[in-house]
């Protein structure tokens, strides 16, 4: 019944616009009848337009305040960024690269509004786990038309996850306060996070790294995890954590022999 009403409404609307521009709408109707994906493309373009407007509006709201606060730390709107999150502490850190030292400086720490699962990596679709590991996001990862206001796709599964036959998709850092496997930050906070990351991409950063940890990878905290089934995995993560703590620059990361390997080099890269 619902489908019939939709068809009727579509026919009525088509009849009205036909009266005003028959040749144009005859062509469109023909295209839809022969290729239904045309209608889907129209919907997709509308969604993209709404998303772009939403992102621009968010940036307009947060840029004045954030720009001033960046300036007090010698940092700049549009410079490269780096995200790091800790599940146990429920915190997401946003770093901005200093133009002189090339090190990434902590700019903001955001409380995660909602996350699901427990300590340990995501292993399969539907397990409700937030991933742990080393990810990155580029332009295609930015989702301004998200159902959850604004969102950034973390890039799970990465090469390491795929090597371990882990499944799942669409793990996001997003707005709102609900989450299954994602990091929900509230609409207010995601506007700042998204806008800073978007500005960095517009400023020339090809992609930004997103490091997801179970907790702060200190020797003391790892000692408390003695005997935990994920301890070996966490010790591997700690290598990447320690690199950033030492050099202030996220390491180059790759999967090799089912482990993360890191380029322990303090020389800054064009794409951090």
- Is 174 an active-site residue? yes
DSSP letter for each residue of 18-50 = HHH-HHHHHHHHHHHHH-THHHHHHHHHHHHHH
pTM of the model: 0.81
Q: How many CB atoms lie within 10 A of CB 204?
A: 11
Tokens 């005859």 belong to residue: 26
> Which of 182, 197, 211, 243 is an active site residue?
182
Q: Starting at the edge strand that comes first in sequence, how are the strands of the sheet with 183-184 ordered?
A: 142-143, 151-153, 172-174, 183-184
Query: What local confidence, expressed as pLDDT, does residue 216 receive?
Result: 98
CATH number of 52-263: 2.40.50.140, 3.30.300.130, 3.40.190.10, 2.40.440.10? 2.40.440.10
Query: What local confidence, expressed as pLDDT, does residue 19 receive?
Result: 45
- Is 34 an active-site residue? no
| Inter-residue contact 84 to 213 (CB < 8 Å) | yes
- CA 147/CA 263 separation, integer angstroms: 37
Query: What local confidence, expressed as pLDDT, does residue 43 receive?
Result: 46
Structure-token pair, residue 220: 């003391």
Query: What local confidence, expressed as pLDDT, does residue 46 receive?
Result: 57
Tokens 């996070």 belong to residue: 193
| Inter-residue contact 213 to 138 (CB < 8 Å) | no
76 half-sphere exposure, CB direction, 13 A CA radius:
8
pLDDT mean values, one per 10 residues, the chain (272 residues): 51 48 43 44 59 94 98 98 98 98 98 98 97 98 97 98 97 96 98 98 98 98 98 98 96 97 63 40
Facing residues of 253 across strands?
262
**Contacts of residue 251, Cβ cutoff 8 Å, sequence gap at least 6:** 240, 243, 244, 262, 263, 264, 265
> Which of 3, 8, 154, 174 is an active site residue?
174
| Torsion sign across C-alpha atoms 79, 85, 90, 91 | negative
Query: What local confidence, expressed as pLDDT, does residue 10 receive?
Result: 53
């Amino acid at each position: 019944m619902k489908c019939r009403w939709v068809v009727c409404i579509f026919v009525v609307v088509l009849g009205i616009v036909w009266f005003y521009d028959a040749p144009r709408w005859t062509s469109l109707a023909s295209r839809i009848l022969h290729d239904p994906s045309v209608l889907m493309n129209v919907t997709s373009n509308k969604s993209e337009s709404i998303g772009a407007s939403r992102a621009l509006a968010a940036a307009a709201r947060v840029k004045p305040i954030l720009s001033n606060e960046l300036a007090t730390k010698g940092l700049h709107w549009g410079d490269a960024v780096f995200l790091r999150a800790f599940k146990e502490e429920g915190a997401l850190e946003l770093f901005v690269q200093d133009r002189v030292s090339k090190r990434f400086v902590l700019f903001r720490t955001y409380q995660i509004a909602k996350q699901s699962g427990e300590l340990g990596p995501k292993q399969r679709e539907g397990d409700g786990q937030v991933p742990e590991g080393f990810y990155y996001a580029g332009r295609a990862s930015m989702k301004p038309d998200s159902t959850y206001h604004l969102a950034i796709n973390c890039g799970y599964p990465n090469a390491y996850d795929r090597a371990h036959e882990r499944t799942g998709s669409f793990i996001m850092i997003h707005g709102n306060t609900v989450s299954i496997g994602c990091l929900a930050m509230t609409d207010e906070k995601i506007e700042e996070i998204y806008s800073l990351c978007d500005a960095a991409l517009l400023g020339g950063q090809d992609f930004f790294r997103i490091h997801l940890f179970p907790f702060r990878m200190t020797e003391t905290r790892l000692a408390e995890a003695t005997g935990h089934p994920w301890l070996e995995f966490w010790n591997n993560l700690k290598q990447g954590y320690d690199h950033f703590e030492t050099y202030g620059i996220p390491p180059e990361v790759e999967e090799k022999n089912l482990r993360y390997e890191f380029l322990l080099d303090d020389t800054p890269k064009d794409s951090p």
